[in-house]
Amino acid sequence: MSDFRTTKPHMLRQSKVYESRTLMGGLSGFESPVGMDRRDRLQALKTGDIGFVHSWDINTSVDGPGTRMTVFMSGCPLRCQYCQNPDTWKMRDGQPVYLDAMVAKVERYKDLFQLTGGGITFSGGESMQQPKFVTRVFRAAKEMGVHTCLDTSGFLGENYSDDDIRDVDLCLLDVKSGDEETYRKVTGGSLQPTIDFGKRLSRLGTKIWVRFVLVPGLTDSEDNVENVASICQEFGDAVEHIDVLPFHQLGRPKWHELRIPYSLEDTKGPSAALKERVMGQFRNHGFVVY
């Protein structure tokens, strides 16, 4: 574990650029429950009448096809070394938002989504940690004819029934490593739930875009990449493509601000040659790769 570091001015500028691109929405336009005690909030969370939300954004070609409303939910069971948003780890740090307010926001943008082939994406944190809220929003979106997308590690896949998954048109599935040892080092969790969830998605006919974060010295070994490719092959034709996402340091100032020791402090992004080698490994297994 590294010592705490001080965020330097140039890092802060990079962080603001990152936030303006991905977390610009804040929670503007949402009415939060007022005067609800802890017991009532827990019950409303259990039924999905409220969800704890970090922020939301409107973007294009980042979190699924077309113009997307991406909602970043609070709470995550994993602790990825390269997490861009450690401020989403704890559910209590989010703001409670009414289900009806979220559904109304989706309806507001419905025409735009249908015009651009976009829709709503739930991300995080880990949105599967709040299954009732997310699945109820997805059900409402499907009834409106709005495309739905789930961005997840699949680690909490058992929280979703098959009927819940049938309301998901596309899953952005993070396959963070190809072997248990590396996966545990990267995330603190176990790989098998991701594999199990990917197989369920495939069985139920849900399309998958696999995401793999390429971190030099952590996830870049040839064996690890080969193992990831083999896992993706188990998902069959459900996999439309694989995104190889180069590691970057734009989230580093958040770790500093939260005073969380950051183990990748001095890690550089992958070279063009390394990224091409990894993409080539996936292509050799027959995948479309970006």
267 vs 218: CA distance, rounded Å:
10
Distances (CA, A) of 268 to 59, 80, 90, 197, 278: 27, 17, 28, 31, 16
Residue 31: pLDDT band with limits 50, 70, 90: low
Give the type of residue at 41.
Answer: R
pTM score of the predicted model: 0.88
pLDDT single digits (tens) 139-190: 999 999 999 999 999 999 999 999 999 999 999 999 999 999 999 999 999 9
Q: What is the mean pLDDT of residues 61-70?
A: 92
**Percent with pLDDT over 70 in the chain:** 88
Q: Percent of the chain beyond pLDDT 90? A: 83
pLDDT at 17: 43
Contact in structure between 155 and 191 (CB atoms under 8 Å): no
| Token pair in block for residue 190 | 């176990």
- How far lies 14's CA from each of 8, 245, 260, in Å? 10, 18, 19
Beta sheet of 119-123, edge-to-edge order: 95-98, 50-60, 67-73, 119-123, 147-152, 170-174, 207-214, 239-246
Q: Which residue has the higher pLDDT, 91 or 32?
A: 91
Q: What is the pLDDT of residue 45?
A: 87
Q: Tell me the CATH number for domain 38-285.
A: 3.20.20.70
Mean pLDDT of 259-277: 97
Q: What is the pLDDT of residue 32?
A: 60
pLDDT of amino acid 37: 74
Residues 6+ away with beta carbon under 8 Å from 180 = 190, 191, 192
Provide the β-strand partners of residue 119.
68, 147
Confidence category of residue 89, pLDDT binned at 50, 70, 90: very high
Q: For 228-259, how does the pLDDT look when each residue is reduced to its tens digit (9 = 90+)?
A: 999 999 999 999 999 999 999 999 999 999 99
Rounded Cα gap, residues 224 and 143, in angstroms:
41
